[in-house]
A and B are shown apart, each in its own frame.
Chain A
Amino acid sequence: KAGVTQTPRYLIKTRGQQVTLSCSPISGHRSVSWYQQTPGQGLQFLFEYFSETQRNKGNFPGRFSGRQFSNSRSEMNVSTLELGDSALYLCASSLVGQGPTGELFFGEGSRLTVL
């Protein structure tokens, strides 16, 4: 079956702009989580959605937001972009947000460059 699909794969924005990234989870998966990966900070958790509700949020400013639709697809938005937002944004999905007894499936990520 198809894996986690993230679009766009690459994008370039300028400071002050906003960006929306999309994630389509594996069919049947209801939990979607987002991560940011930078060379300096590594992989950091952004937020997690389950059945259209944000269930958990990482330590990021309010410029970072997300949502999940009824078909489990998810989007994340970053407003007022800063140079430090340049990163690989990864989406992961799981069946029911099953915590430590299952596995997450990650997409290939969306690489954002802010100029």
Chain B
Amino acid sequence: DAKTTQPNSMESNEEEPVHLPCNHSTISGTDYIHWYRQLPSQGPEYVIHGLTSNVNNRMASLAIAEDRKSSTLILHRATLRDAAVYYCILPSYNTDKLIFGTGTRLQVFP
């Protein structure tokens, strides 16, 4: 699996946008980029995924660099409930095996 690099922690104030970066310089042309997050005392939950184009869903947006060597998860208006560890993952094909790195711990302040 291709490796991803994320900052250990980030902070935000409530209702402000948050941009969570992820570097994946060894990504292959067929690797999808997935984001999961883990709220305190819960299992991880899927946030969003994409291949080449930017993606939006009700939870977040995913901006993918043109060379695909980096991506950014965007939370448009952070809430206290968004405080979690966010993982950027490049899953392999034909398997549900996910390689979780250390992720980015997001703190949201009121």
Interface residues of A (CB under 8 A from B): 4, 31, 33, 35, 42-45, 48, 55-56, 58, 90, 92, 94, 97-101, 103-109
Contacts and interface: CB of A to CB of B under 8 A. Distances in A.
Contact of B96 (A4, A48, A90): A48
Interface of B: 31-32, 34, 36, 41-46, 49, 87, 90-103
Say what secondary structure dominates the interface of chain A: strand
B95 A106 contact: no
Pick from B43, B91, B96 the residue with the most CB of A within 10 Å.
Answer: B96
A90 B43 contact: yes
A45 B43 contact: no
Contacts of A94: 96
B99 A45 contact: yes
A99 B46 contact: no
Contact of A43 (B41, B45, B100): B100
The 6 A-B residue pairs whose C-beta atoms are closest, nearest first, are: A106-B43, A103-B46, A43-B100, A100-B32, A100-B91, A99-B93
Contacts of B36: 104
Nearest to A91: B43
B9 to A, nearest CB: 15
A109 B40 CA distance: 12
A41 to B, nearest CB: 10
A33 B43 contact: no
B97 A48 contact: yes
